[in-house]
Structure 1
Amino acid sequence: MKQTLVLVLIFLIFSTNAQDVAILKYNGGGDWYANPTAIPNLVDFANKNIGTNISKDPQAVNINSEDLFSYPIIFMTGHGNVLFSDDDANNLKNYLISGGFLHISDNYGLDKFIRRELKKVFPNLEFKEIPTNHPIFNQTFKFPNGIPKIHEHNKKPAQGFGLFYKGRLVVFYDYETDLSDGWEDEIIHNNPKSVRETALKMGANIIEFAFKN
């Protein structure tokens, strides 16, 4: 029965919305809806530069919804508290081990909460810093030094962390860089064009990696 369920979930991931992305809607009071222009801008950039055909109207999907399984990649951001129920954690785990991919962008203040809650999803997994030779940094766009620094938070170096399930990267977490701020409309953060392009290129790599893997 469990094997049948997993096969059904895998089918859903690669069916209707196999070339679309979604935004994770979670509980706890954190602003999951932060950076509203980020994903539409990233999608537009990806469609123009890496040959994707993603809907420019990304949907917000509840973490405990079966709709999660319709998307090969889910984006998550925010500044504040995150709280996963047992059902939330179980649904997210099933999504990820069935072929899904989660990108988390720390919009400042998310770190302690997301690390705590992901322990409910994968109690035995630890975040590992992703080496610069990993494929996620070597898709259409090359990042020989790893994840780029986009925003200054605590004067710490930008880091890309990952959770690996049976050797597969299932969660990519950008820390002390805030890629999603770099994807926002220029007027919001006044980032120079070169910084925004760097952030968008890294974001496109994440999408490309998720679609391939």
Structure 2
Amino acid sequence: MGMRRRDFLKFSTAGLGGLLAGSKALAQFGERRPLNYDFFFAQLVVGKGLEWNPRPSVARSLAALLNKRTSIPASPERVEVRLAGSDLSAWPFLYLSGESGFEPFSELEIQRLRSWFEAGGFMLVDDALGLPDSGFDQSFRRELKRLFPGDELRPIPQTHTIFQSYYLLDKVAGRKASVPYLSGIDRSDLTVLLYSQNDLAGAIEQAGAGYRYSPEPGGESQREIAIRLWVNIILYALTANYKKDLIHTPFISERRKRRPR
């Protein structure tokens, strides 16, 4: 009997500390994080009040699904990160979300964030409104031009490692299905910033024993796509592009042909 996907990941991540230690995405970050978890949900605090936190229980919801579907120990607690005062070097993964526009970053904040990217950080940006050209979208794109002058967001191709890192995916979705692709910024051969305009967090945020929102328009099948996409993104953030080296391309192509729709 062949090795199940979960068993394979358990095998391949049993020594995840060693794998991560060799990963460009983590090697340059500090040792100030607790050692009993391999993934921490660190979220940027931007704007006023709670504008930065439209999905307050997403960290716990994500940890639950990672612990259920993979063997990656994920912390259920969110880490609040402020560009002006927090130690960015402790957190190789950052999450930025919102529904409305926010004030421009200071020059110091831009410099600190740019240095964090140069050190190998990975950022997931999630428009919680799930609509193109939202206030959040406009503010984010404004700051992106300052962070990466001369670069533009580009659609992530289906051949990208993100669509193969755990599940084989050929579509994207969140609570909404407004934009049929992810966008990103690359540095060398790695994607360092990933942008979803479909409210990924809204698709997995739990409330009590169930989910807080119903995905539109696809319902539970759309939620499953979003869940699998979350898993793939976190695997990519943790291990960079190692999966590209491990996957046998013809085997992947054959599995794509056989996959049920």
Common topology (TM > 0.5): yes
DSSP-derived class of the 1:34 partner: coil
Aligned equivalents of 2:185, 2:157: Cα separation in 1:
13
Cα distance per residue 1:83-114 (max 9 Å; x no partner): 21111111111111101100001112221110
DSSP-derived class of the 2:228 partner: helix
| Equivalences for residues 177-196 of structure 1 within 5 A | 177-185=198-206, 186-191=210-215, 192-196=219-223
**1:151 aligned residue:** 176
- Cα distance, 1:161 vs structure 2: 0.3
DSSP-derived class of the 2:77 partner: coil
Alignment gaps of 5+ in structure 1: 1-8
- Cα distance, 1:158 vs structure 2: 2.4
Asked if the contact 1:130/1:161 (under 8 Å) is kept, the reply is: yes
Does 1:16 pair with 2:33?
Answer: yes
Asked if the contact 1:22/1:61 (under 8 Å) is kept, the reply is: yes
Cα distance per residue 1:132-175 (max 9 Å; x no partner): 11001111111123x235415xxx43220001123321100012
Instruction: Tell me which amino acid in the other structure corresponds to 1:10.
Output: Q
Aligned equivalents of 2:175, 2:32: Cα separation in 1:
34
Structure 1 residue corresponding to 2:109, chosen from 88, 107, 126: 88
DSSP-derived class of the 2:75 partner: coil
Q: Which has the higher contact order (CA 8 A, sep 6+)?
A: 1
Structure 1 residue corresponding to 2:46, chosen from 13, 26, 49: 26
Structure 1 residue corresponding to 2:145, chosen from 116, 119, 140: 119
Aligned equivalents of 1:200, 1:149: Cα separation in 2:
8
| Equivalences for residues 42-191 of structure 1 within 5 A | 42-82=62-102, 83-108=104-129, 109=134, 110-145=136-171, 147-148=172-173, 150-152=175-177, 156-175=178-197, 177-185=198-206, 186-191=210-215
Asked if the contact 2:44/2:83 (under 8 Å) is kept, the reply is: yes
Q: 1:61 to 1:195 in 2, by over 3 A?
A: same
DSSP-derived class of the 1:157 partner: coil
- Cα distance, 1:187 vs structure 2: 4.5
Asked if the contact 1:50/1:208 (under 8 Å) is kept, the reply is: no
The runs of 4+ residues in structure 1 deviating greater than 4 Å are none
**1:4 aligned residue:** none
DSSP-derived class of the 1:180 partner: helix
Asked if the contact 2:185/2:193 (under 8 Å) is kept, the reply is: yes
Q: Report the count of equivalent residues.
A: 199
- Cα distance, 1:21 vs structure 2: 2.3
Does 1:198 pair with 2:225?
Answer: yes
Cα distance per residue 1:46-96 (max 9 Å; x no partner): 122122112101111112334222122111110112321111111111111
**1:38 aligned residue:** 58
Stretch of structure 1 that moved more, 122-131 or 14-23:
14-23
Asked if the contact 2:45/2:82 (under 8 Å) is kept, the reply is: yes
Asked if the contact 1:30/1:78 (under 8 Å) is kept, the reply is: no
Identity level (%): 25
Aligned equivalents of 1:113, 1:55: Cα separation in 2:
30
TM-score (norm 1): 0.84
DSSP-derived class of the 1:169 partner: strand
